[in-house]
A and B are shown apart, each in its own frame.
Chain A
Amino acid sequence: MAVDKTLLSGSTTMLILKLLEDKDMYGYQMIEELSKKSNDTFNLKAGTLYPLLHSLEQQGMVISYDNNVDSARIRKYYSITKKGRGLLADKKAEWQTYFTAVNRVLKGGANLAATY
């Protein structure tokens, strides 16, 4: 199921960092993996991914290097840094708080409706 784009945009940084936590990847691979892991829910656009990756690199959250292990072409791989792992932990905590709060409101709303 495709979801509203605005829902995805806030958490894209977290999702990308999470992907890189397991292994180093190149851009296309990230989109594929994200789509696979989310049962095609997250369809990240290249136009969103690369500016985000490049700015994460400038902030020192990820580093990039060239490699041609998987194919004849030299690809640009990204690797998460220690600083990036710190950001991921923060983002996860932030997401948890948000997620719990949204859930509580939704449930509260349901309970409230039931009482009336």
Chain B
Amino acid sequence: MQQHIRVKQYLEILCSQIRCKQIHGDICEEIENHIIDQKETFKAQGFDDETATIKAIEQMGDPVIIGTELDRTHKPKPEWSIITLTILLLVVGTVIRFFTSSQDSNGIELFNKQLLFTMVGIGLMVLFYYIDFTVLGRYPKTIFLLLSTVIIFLIILSKPINGKYIYASYMLLLFPTSFAGVVYSMRNKGYIGIVFCGIFFAVSFIVSMIIPSVSSCILLFLSCLVILTIAILKGWFNVKKLYALLLVYLPVIGLLAVIFSSGILSKRIALALNPLIDPTGAGYIGTMTRTLLSGAQFIGQGSLPDYFQGVSASQIPPGINSDLLITYIIHKFGWLAFIIVATLFTVFIVRAITLCLKQKSVLALLVSTAITLTFIIQTILYIASNLGFQLFAPLSLPFVSQGSSYLLTNMCLVGILLSVYRTGYFIKDKKISIKTATNSFIKFEDGKLIIDFNIH
């Protein structure tokens, strides 16, 4: 196979000039097709196979020059907007925590610790930025299994704090991203693929229930649902979209119906809307939050009701270094401070969504959507709770709130997100020829369930 070696050598030299490795396969295929076409033309003109190949390669031109040209076109570009916004949010968080630390007896210690972890977090972000994110699509089950095992070990090894396995709970934020990889691996697997996705979701959901973290359950539920819906709408499972959506949404509606009819949620909603119905019990923190907010100014220090005479806002439970960072900031500096923070988050989220929608490969789309959703849901839960609507306990305000483990987890996630934005454009979903596309064990066509024992 002399010819093949010549073509192979040509392609190797060409690709060695292109730094973005993710695109090598795609380019090789295109150029090889071109050489074959050219060779066939020469053969039709009467040249023998060997001469035709040599002539076809000559016709292509210098591989180093083409490779260099293509390298220039496919240079990975860092997404400066998200990098800048992340750094801005880290700075805002540090400034806010610097203020809150001065109001608390052990505040300085907390501040220094968080500052150190911010540095470690930036290191992690850079590390994940350079890791090829496509491993999520190549080894999805291994990654999912590894993540679940680590969480289960943390549950077994750590002691619960206030009835919660805190250390394991941070890791739950990584589930949606891992789930995106699992969904990606189910291409053309039909309805059975969707059922498998459901099983993976159920495993992560059950783990969240063991912790127990209702907020993580919500985060997982919403993000996995969106990821699965996108995959179905993209025709990823190669089945009728309507039936696939019914397969996903009917159980979801059923589950929600059970939860709503049980009455647990309606009590929580009533309390979240009006914590004053139980001001000293379950509505205590909600009541305090609303008290702090009701006295807030647009700019400047807010006031407290008369019965808090002699007490500063930072001493009001649950304390300034709690999950009510934004509430205290609004009280201390006014609503303008909130508007600034909220604007930064809005810009970050809108930009992240815009970039997700631009992704061409399904893997890049699913992974970036999973991470963006993880940020969005955390932000909404935190801000809602800080504004006095405490339906679910907040997890963290990405890059800003107190808590080093959440910070590190979110920094890893933003690193992966930046990696997707940096190289996602070049990723192509693995090609599957049309023939194998319909090769599935179980098919559902024209209202008939077909089990095909004749597939290879």
Q: Could you count the A-B residue pairs with CB atoms below 8 Å apart for me: how many are there?
A: 54
Total chain A interface residues with beta-carbon distance under 8 A: 17
Q: Is A46 an interface residue (CB 8 A)?
A: yes
Q: Is the CB of B73 within 8 A of A28?
A: no
Q: How far is the CA of A73 from the CA of B26 in the complex (A)?
A: 14
Residues of A53-67 whose CB lies within 8 A of B? 54-55, 58, 66
Q: Is B8 an interface residue (CB 8 A)?
A: no
Given contacts A45-B61, A46-B66, contact A54 B73 (CB under 8 A): yes
Q: Is B29 an interface residue (CB 8 A)?
A: yes
Which residues from chain B contact A73 at a C-beta distance below 8 Å? 33, 36
Which residues from chain A contact B49 at a C-beta distance below 8 Å? none
Q: Is the CB of A50 within 8 A of B70?
A: yes
Which residues from chain B contact A58 at a C-beta distance below 8 Å? 73, 425
Q: Is B72 an interface residue (CB 8 A)?
A: yes
Contact of A28 among B38, B72, B74 (CB under 8 A): B38
Type the 1/0 row for A36-77, where 1 means its CB is closer than 8 Å to any CB of B.
Answer: 000000000111001100110010000000101000011110
Which residues from chain B contact A66 at a C-beta distance below 8 Å? 431
Q: How far is the CA of A26 from the CA of B29 in the complex (A)?
A: 12
Q: Is the CB of A28 within 8 A of B62?
A: no
Q: Is the CB of A68 within 8 A of B433?
A: yes
Q: How far is the CA of A50 from the CA of B37 in the complex (A)?
A: 15
Q: Is B60 an interface residue (CB 8 A)?
A: yes
Kindly provide the distance from the CB of A65 to the nearest chain B CB, expressed in whole angstroms.
Answer: 10
Contact of B29 among A28, A45, A51, A76 (CB under 8 A): A76
Q: How far is the CA of A47 from the CA of B434 in the complex (A)?
A: 30
Residues of B within 8 A of A (CB): 26-27, 29-31, 33-34, 36-38, 59-62, 65-66, 69-70, 72-74, 425, 431, 433-434
Residues of A within 8 A of B (CB): 26-28, 45-47, 50-51, 54-55, 58, 66, 68, 73-76
Please list the 4 inter-chain residue pairs (A to B) with the smallest Cβ-Cβ separation, ordered nearest first.
A47-B61, A51-B69, A28-B37, A47-B66
